[in-house]
Amino acid sequence: MSEILGKFQADSYAFLAVAPAQNWIGGEWREASTGERAEVINPRYGRAMSSTPMSAAADVDAAVSAAAAAWVEWRAWPMRERAHVFYRLRDLMNAERESLAWLVSHENGKVYAQALAEVDKAIECVEFGCSLPNMAGGPQLEVSRGVHCQLVHEPLGVVAGVTPFNFPLMVPLWMIPQAIVSGNCFVLKASERVPLSTIRLAELFEQAGLPKGVFNLVHGGKASVEALCDHPQIRALAFVGSTPVAKLVYGRAAAAGKAALCLGGAKNHLIVVPDADLELTAENVVASFTGCSGQRCMAAANLVAVGDVDDIIAAIAERAAKLVPGSDHGAITSAAAAERIRGYIDAAEQSGAKVLVDGRQKRGEEAGGYWLGATVLDGVPADSPAAREEIFGPVLSIIRVPTLEAAIAFENASPYGNASSIYTTSGHIAREVMGRVEAGMCGVNIGVPVPREPFGFGGWNDSKFGHGDITGWDGFRFWTRPRKITTKWALQKDWTWMS
């Protein structure tokens, strides 16, 4: 058994250095051809806990070659036997649930409870992969006398994914189960900030009995992503990250003839009306904008306050002010990100917004980490950067509007379309908002309306480039292509145009 990381030994936030990351290609650990490496920083301390290879096109080509070689046999496995690997992976992940959560916490910076929630969601994604053999049977119908049509889903071959820093274990497993169970071989490029969770995933895949070359891991930065986009043997590519990069990746991959599905950024809106339940709304909104320190594409960004909801806003501010960085939410991913977020808060204050809760000087206990506390900004001008741009931190911008119509208009003016929620006790208002907002994932009294399997994850507008969703049944269809088979076995006495 080949392991460079093994079961993560941490059981607390105490700093722990681990072995350098390597590429996993054809069932072997390899250094990058460039010899270049980048530090992997524990954001809680601002210290390097490992390092990762910065691969080039030659490394991507080696991974694709290994995947192509493995595909010859892997595609011949019955789907149910492919899924059995994921049953075993699920058992292994459950057995290491806590250690995987500590690994996510250390390399990403989120608190243990939120890292554990990520691991649980990742396991749920694996479980969906296990279920695919029971869902993937295509329809068959006698369409004419003695003539039958059947639909089957065929794998594409070698496919690839590029994933972000904020969910180092979950987001890769948005892609991998559907792609591999459907018969493809996979090349993953995880964020160079968080390579370690996917290192452990590769080790667990080997323990689960996945054949060599079916899953490959190539670390690196821009050069690796461009090589994946350009490689002629990669048939499909999925990406999750910021909108500017998603646009570039989608355009480059599509120009190379690949199926491409690229999820971008977000500016999610929570609309609050006066009849909203105070306790439910306050607790839910705070959890939404501070969970994972706001570093998730489903986090609340804007609270659109309709009319007089001052009592609800006061309750939100009271709860947010009590949160402690390092205990209630984690560190910011990097020093540059923390500084950028503070810049948005400063600019909003200078433009006339009132800082109800100021987290700019709040820190966790560990020295050297990248910290920012929960921040609530009231009266944010509708045309300001804090109201329009993705901040990606624990900052809630409150925009005041007089009517529900104005709230919907403000929401729909955003170029993004990831998520939107309404807080109300009125079924009529809920239906009105759900039917009119420009967002692919919507919630009623839910601040993080993440669809659970089998419902797919995906936004609209500038939050997604490509067709379909990345998880659920749409994810399976993205990694496959439909084959229609029409058969006839006997001469019929009556003739039709199909005879």
In our burial notation (b when 16+ CB lie closer than 10 A, e otherwise), range 117-151 reads bbbebbbebbebbbebbeebeeeeeeebebbebee
Q: Give the closest residue to 182 by CA, choosing from 155, 205, 201, 202.
A: 155
**Dihedral sign from CA coordinates of 278, 284, 289, 292:** positive
Positive/negative CA dihedral, 277, 281, 282, 283: positive
Question: Which amino acid, residue 321?
Answer: A
- The position carrying tokens 């960004």 is 301
CB environment 293-308: b (16+ within 10 A), e (fewer): bbbbbbbbbbbbbbee
Classify 243 as helix, strand or coil: helix
297 labelled catalytic: yes
Instruction: Report the Cα 94 to chain-centroid distance in Å.
Output: 21
In DSSP terms, 239 is beta-bridged to 162, 262
Please state, as a whole number, how many other Cβ atoms lie within 10 Å of the Cβ of residue 6.
13
Instruction: Given the residues 130, 262, 297, 442, select the one marked as catalytic.
Output: 297
Degrees to nearest 5, angle at CA 120 with 162 and 236: 25
- Residues ≥6 apart with Cβ < 8 Å to 468: 261, 456, 458, 474, 475, 477, 478
Tokens 């921040």 sit on residue: 375
Distance CA 383, CA 293 (A): 24
Task: Judge if the upstream peptide bond of residue 415 is cis by omega within 30 degrees of 0.
Answer: no
232 burial type by CB count under 10 A (0-12 exposed, 13-18 middle, 19+ buried)? exposed
E strands present in 23-162:
23-25, 28-30, 37-42, 47-53, 140-144, 147-155, 158-162
Amino acid identity, position 390:
E
Question: What is d(CA 384, CA 392) in angstroms, rounded to the nearest whole number?
Answer: 16
Q: Please list the active-site residues.
A: 297
